[in-house]
């Protein structure tokens, strides 16, 4: 496992693009407001295609802010980086950049990838290439890109047509890589009210890993919700049951109680079908709750520790999930993202 970007030497000066990306990464991992972070990502995108000489000249002349997408604070960061200085802003962020959670370090080091992530094709904040690049820097062997399905309009869910286009982009990204890291084709497919999945079977069959999640009618009566979830779990396309209770325990979106269902019946179906129960690492979700996590453990389920990242820095949230899985005493070999890529892919294709 490669060294995590969160543990690089804080006093090490980097080039301007790397400095801007590092600031954005650290802000995202601390869940700072996306709008404030966007300035750094935008500035990095602006100067990335420019010749280094141009950037240095503008830094020296004080004309960086003439470029679209660069304001005074990002210009100051770029100027420091050009001068070989670690910007004060970055220095302050590095001071708080330790592990996000403790107790799960050993398991975290065994995680080879992440099965749940979003790009700006749906409701994520960054291009899929940036997600892939950051996953590589975190030492992952693979990242499954799981943008939302069509019915989730608020999240700009992908139609079969847009998803087809995205798959071609994923192929193009992988062609530029040396094969040690792979961006995998996936989806976070909505579980519809009747337990069917919100994408055509043909399209689902073209993907490598499928996370199925409930995003609507979370207050459905328990018997219907149980049928709905089991319907999705029994669907041979489903590999991972995403954030199973839908609860929100903290954060800017407010709180939301967990949905009601017969967890024993749902987890039994997961164990029978070989569907992994997701341990969603987002601190505002902490899903499943501990009691249900232990029930899934005792029911013999597989698990997937996922970041559900909507920005590159959030990919680092696996620390939280690893800590929870360790605390629950879950055998690492039952956690599918400790597996190497080919084993993972064979498992994901095994019911089709």
Residue ranges that bind Zn ion, judged by CB under 5 A: 188, 213, 308
Is the alpha carbon torsion for 310, 236, 151, 169 positive or negative?
Answer: positive
Nearest-approach distance from CB 187 to Zn ion, in angstroms: 10
Nearest-approach distance from CB 118 to Zn ion, in angstroms: 6
Q: Which is nearer to Zn ion, 16 or 186 (CB)?
A: 186
CA 40 to chain centre: 20
What are residue 335's DSSP bridge partners?
A: 303
Contact partners, residue 63, CB within 8 Å, separation at least 6: none
Beta carbons within 10 angstroms of residue 66's beta carbon: 10
Q: Which is nearer to Zn ion, 80 or 188 (CB)?
A: 188
Nearest-approach distance from CB 78 to Zn ion, in angstroms: 33
Q: Which is nearer to Zn ion, 137 or 188 (CB)?
A: 188
Nearest-approach distance from CB 211 to Zn ion, in angstroms: 7
Nearest-approach distance from CB 42 to Zn ion, in angstroms: 24
Q: Which is nearer to Zn ion, 70 or 152 (CB)?
A: 152
Exposed, middle or buried, 69 (CB in 10 Å: 0-12/13-18/19+)?
middle
Tell me how far apart the alpha carbons of residues 261 and 226 are, in angstroms, rounded to a whole number. 5
Beta carbons within 10 angstroms of residue 321's beta carbon: 31
Beta carbons within 10 angstroms of residue 58's beta carbon: 21
CA angle 125, 130, 132 (to 5 degrees): 115
- Are β-strands 276-280 and 302-306 bridged in parallel, bridged antiparallel, or unpaired? parallel
Nearest-approach distance from CB 242 to Zn ion, in angstroms: 5
Q: Which is nearer to Zn ion, 137 or 287 (CB)?
A: 287
């Amino acid at each position: 496992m490669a060294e995590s970007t969160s543990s690089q030497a804080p006093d090490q000066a980097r080039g301007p693009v790397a400095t801007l990306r590092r600031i954005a990464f650290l802000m995202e991992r601390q869940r700072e407001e996306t709008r404030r972070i966007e300035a750094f990502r935008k500035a990095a995108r602006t100067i990335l295609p420019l010749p280094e000489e141009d950037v240095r000249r503008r830094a020296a002349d004080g004309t960086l802010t003439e470029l679209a997408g660069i304001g005074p604070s990002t210009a100051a960061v770029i100027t420091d980086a050009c001068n070989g200085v670690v910007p004060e802003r970055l220095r302050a962020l590095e001071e708080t950049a330790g592990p996000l959670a403790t107790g799960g370090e050993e398991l975290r080091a065994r995680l080879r990838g992440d099965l749940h992530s979003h790009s700006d094709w749906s409701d994520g904040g960054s291009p899929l290439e940036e997600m892939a690049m950051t996953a590589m820097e975190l030492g992952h062997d693979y990242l499954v890109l799981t943008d939302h399905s069509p019915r989730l309009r608020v999240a700009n869910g992908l139609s079969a047509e847009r998803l087809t286009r995205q798959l071609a982009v994923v192929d193009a990204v992988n062609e530029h890589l040396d094969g040690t890291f792979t961006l995998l084709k996936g989806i976070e497919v909505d579980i519809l009210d009747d337990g069917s999945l919100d994408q055509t079977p043909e399209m689902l069959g073209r993907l490598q890993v499928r996370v199925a999640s409930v995003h609507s009618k979370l207050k459905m009566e328990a018997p219907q919700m149980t049928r709905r979830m089991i319907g999705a779990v029994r669907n041979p396309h489903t590999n991972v049951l995403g954030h199973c209770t839908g609860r929100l325990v903290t954060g800017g979106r407010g709180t939301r109680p967990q949905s009601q269902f017969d967890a024993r019946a749902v987890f039994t179906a997961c164990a029978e079908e070989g569907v992994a129960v997701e341990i969603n690492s987002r601190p505002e979700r902490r899903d499943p709750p501990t009691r249900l996590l232990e029930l899934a453990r005792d029911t013999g389920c597989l698990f997937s520790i996922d970041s559900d990242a909507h920005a590159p820095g959030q990919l680092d949230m696996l620390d939280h999930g690893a800590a929870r899985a360790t605390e629950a005493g879950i055998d690492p070999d039952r956690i599918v993202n400790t597996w190497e890529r080919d084993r993972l892919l064979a498992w994901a294709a095994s019911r089709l």
